Amino acid sequence: MENKTEMDAASKEVYTLLVSKLQKDASVHIGTLVSAAARLAGASLYRSFNFKDDKLAPGMIVLSEEANQEWPKLMHMVLATLKANRLEVDQTKFVMETPEQHTPHKTILEMQAELQGPFDQIVRKHGLDYRHGAIAGANACALAILKSRLLVDPQITCGLAALGFVEGCKTSPLPLDQDQAN
């Protein structure tokens, strides 16, 4: 695995990036923040599968056994991070129908258009490949859940994370600029 220090630094940078880009009127919509981190992590995981999808339009659903096997690992990492920080969340009680006030304010493609380039720059700067970029995104997601736990029920934010990982790794992403590919 990549250097843990680089992974931690990338995770914190991704979290800071998301907060700064999504901040509006001195606050951040928690549902959008958690969803963005999870969707970007999922898209990075998708790219790690190296699908030959040149003909797939961005936003198309792509079902794969790789995604089915790998996205739960990102969720387990989030839950382990939460537990290590004394926040126990019961996976069987995730809120999978997001209350309207916590529904993300942007679609996956809108988030990718705004955030994918800077996300990938951070990942590359720290020498991470797509799979490790997904882990950095998952760690940023865990950080968002931890920092918002007094504002939004963690069962809701964990549900958003799970949905974001699935959506990100099963949706054909916007293309990266050639010089951004890693």
Write down the pLDDT at residue 56.
Answer: 87
Question: Structural domain boundaries of the chain?
Answer: 4-175
Take residue 36 and report the two structure tokens written for it: 């963005």
Residue 53, pLDDT > 90, answer no
Write down the pLDDT at residue 52.
Answer: 81
CB 89 within 8 A of CB 79: yes
Q: How far apart are CA 95 and CA 162, in angstroms?
A: 10
Beta bridge partners of 171: 61
Query: Poorest-confidence range of 5-14, 53-62, 149-158?
Result: 53-62
Q: What is the pLDDT of residues 58-115, one digit of tens each?
A: 999 999 999 999 999 999 999 999 999 999 999 999 999 999 999 999 999 999 999 9
Q: What is the pLDDT of residues 117-156, one digit of tens each?
A: 999 999 999 999 999 999 999 999 999 999 999 999 999 9
Q: How confident is the model at residue 4 (pLDDT cuts 50, 70, 90)?
A: confident
Please state the φ and ψ torsions of residue 61, each to the nearest 5 degrees: -75, 135
Q: How confident is the model at residue 176 (pLDDT cuts 50, 70, 90)?
A: confident
CB neighbourhood size of 59 (10 A): 13
Q: How far apart are CA 72 and CA 163, in angstroms?
A: 11
Write down the pLDDT at residue 70.
Answer: 97
Calculate the average pLDDT of the chain.
Answer: 93
Write down the pLDDT at residue 181.
Answer: 45
Please state the φ and ψ torsions of residue 171, each to the nearest 5 degrees: -125, 125
User: Measured at the alpha carbon of residue 145, what is the angle toward residues 163 and 169, in degrees to the nearest 5?
Assistant: 30
Write down the pLDDT at residue 104.
Answer: 97
Write down the pLDDT at residue 101.
Answer: 97
Residue with tokens 């998952």: 138
Reduce the DSSP state of residue 126 to 3 states and report it: coil
